[in-house]
Amino acid sequence: MLKTITMLCASTLVLIAGTYHIDIQVSPTKPGGKSWDIAGGAPDIRFAIDGKTVQQEHKCIDTYRCTRTVSLSLDKEKFYIEVYDRDLKADDLIGKGECRVGEVCKVGRAGVTLKPVERMTLADASVALQDKLEAKLDELLAKDEIEAQDLEDVILMLKQLRSWNRPLSETVRKKLRKLQQKFPDLNNFVEQIDNISRVG
């Protein structure tokens, strides 16, 4: 049964502290006039906000425009963004600099706009929540020891995604497998995570 966007937003923001829509538009050429890729194609855009790399999605590959919903913890109106063209050997810097939330910002060869999201579609809510889940999994994987209570947030987010009937991204699945391999002694919770994560 479909939920209204207002209800969806209310339930989502309980789990996501700060949801934003970002729009990045890249100039067709590098400063010297050359194409971003050797074959003349568009850039594979990746970006970092305040030093945190935001996971690249398929829709930001071979394109001059990248739009998506992200989960961020911003305690000020300004943020620092770095935009790159992802390459096999070394990423090319498209632009970097400080911007203000809600305003169009020019950084190098890219225009950037970051706005708070008040209402979102189910698909956008899923992407934002999976960003939050990835960050939590990275935090746990960096630890040498974790306790059962450390997994509560992971289980809560997985249950929310399952309630929306949304598939997990391959990146989230890989990190869940790594977590299971690194901490096999948490049998009950690992099994619970494995069962819940079988979405889509």
Q: What are the average pLDDT values for consecutive 10-residue runs of the chain, which has 200 residues? A: 33 51 92 84 90 72 88 82 88 93 93 83 78 85 81 82 82 86 70 59
List the CATH code of the domain at 5-116. 2.60.40
DSSP string, 95-109: EEEEEETTS-EEETT
Whole-number pLDDT of residue 5? 30
Whole-number pLDDT of residue 7? 33
User: 8-13: long-range contacts at Cβ-Cβ below 8 A with a sequence spacing of 24 or more?
Assistant: 8/120, 8/122, 8/125, 9/117, 9/118, 9/119, 9/120, 9/125, 11/160, 12/120, 12/125, 12/128, 12/129, 12/160
Whole-number pLDDT of residue 199? 46
Supply angle C-alpha 151, 17, 171, rounded to 5: 55
Helix (H) or strand (E) holding 111: strand 110-116
Domains in the chain: boundaries: 5-116, 122-196
User: Starting at the edge strand that comes first in sequence, how are the strands of the sheet with 52-54 ordered?
Assistant: 52-54, 45-49, 78-85, 92-100
For residues 86 and 57, the answer to whether their CB atoms sit within 8 Å is no
pTM here is: 0.58
